[in-house]
Structure 1
Amino acid sequence: MDAQNRGRPRGGGTPSEITLSCFLLILIIGVCCVHALEMSTGKVPFLEAVNGSTVLIPCTYASCIGIKDLYFKWEFNDNGTMQKVADSVIPMDNVEPSKVNVYRERVEYVGSSKRNNISFLLWNVTFEDAGVYTCFGKNPKEKDKNHSAIFTLYVVEELRVVDNTLTIIIASCVGGFIAFLMAFMLLKNFTLFVLAKLEEKNKECLVTSSGIDNTENGLSGSKTTPKKA
């Protein structure tokens, strides 16, 4: 056996290369495990709805390792008591659940496995519907780890009218200042342009005047009549 290959693993790589490969593999597996399943109720997980209206309670899921028999459910926190709203099992990616169980009135499931969506509609909301809704998911492919996201519903008699007076005043002041600054810059550039033209014209006048003086005084370049002997 060659002395250089003596002590080298049969895999064909140096110990440092094998260590690096193992580290990268563990890192990839760790990232997938951390983000294997994610439940989300959107960037703004709350909504203010008018009494008697119909609202969408949103939730989506995502998994980098795929799903199999994903169990999901919606729960409502009724003064500390968790009440089930709906639940079902999604067999696999892009396959709709065979049945979605609904446990509350005025609830309609509108989710779609093709869009990783498990949202539902709540019809004719009342003040009793206000509170925290929890979107819960459990994927057997990641050893049944639990994941959840919450959505808060506020029910009001009527939507508040936002007073934008201050915003309009600030926007007007800022806009007026910007317009004034632009006008000032334009006026400044125009003034500099006019001054440059005047200075250029004055230089031309000085050059012309200097040439005339030299001619009259008989300096070089001027024409004189030779005197007769």
Structure 2
Amino acid sequence: MKQYYLVRLDDACPQMNRLRWQRIENILDKYGIKPMVGIIPHNEDPVTCIDTIDTNFTSKVLNWQKKGWAIALHGYNHVCTTITGGINPVHKRSEFAGLPLAEQKEKISKGYKTLITVGIHPKYFFAPSHTYDENTLKALVEETSIRIISDSIALQPYKQGVFTMIPCQMGRFRRLPIRGYWTFCFHPNGMDDVAFDTFEHFIKTNLERFINFSDIDVNKVGKKTIVDRLLSFVYFTLRKIKG
């Protein structure tokens, strides 16, 4: 297994910082990188309400889709109401984990239909704060055609039931000594000039390692390896110890 880099962008919504999102789009287009972008269908999170509502947001997402960006359903309203981390406890808060199945089905159904109705077809899912539970997976199966999730700790994609899990491990670019599929997760709304310069420099100097999500053949993905199970156990154990 070689070393592959993937880019994920979180919190795209009508109230996002349009100038910063355009800046990161320009950089990615310059180097031919097609990221995964998480769309919040009905944003009610004040933290991500930065600009006035962009009436052209749907057209922007449709253009991303046309360019081959990987479109992900990123929750429903991006508001965390529970204090549990579920089966991927990166944080102790969640929009989904801990809620009854019926409530999760309603949120996911509304979000999915909101996007489908305007021609946006998400093939991927990732939850706000990285947190979800078994009910979230059941809701996705029953309410959507989505069978690929961007989250979990591992060195390579793996099968979990009917889902293909693509790990998401890093919140910033860094050179790594271990081979694997490394997803770097960015929040353009919060990036400053230094962050953008660092972002472009890393891509420019490591371009040969970057791939697109569509390059992953989900039909060839196997079960989670023993090494990845151990890695996940160690990672979450250390997070728990650190509090």
Structure having the larger proportion of residues in helix: 2
Q: What TM-score do the two structures reach when normalised by structure 2?
A: 0.21
Answer 1 or 2: higher relative contact order, Cα 8 Å, separation at least 6.
Answer: 2
Q: What TM-score do the two structures reach when normalised by structure 1?
A: 0.22
Structure having the larger proportion of residues in strand: 1
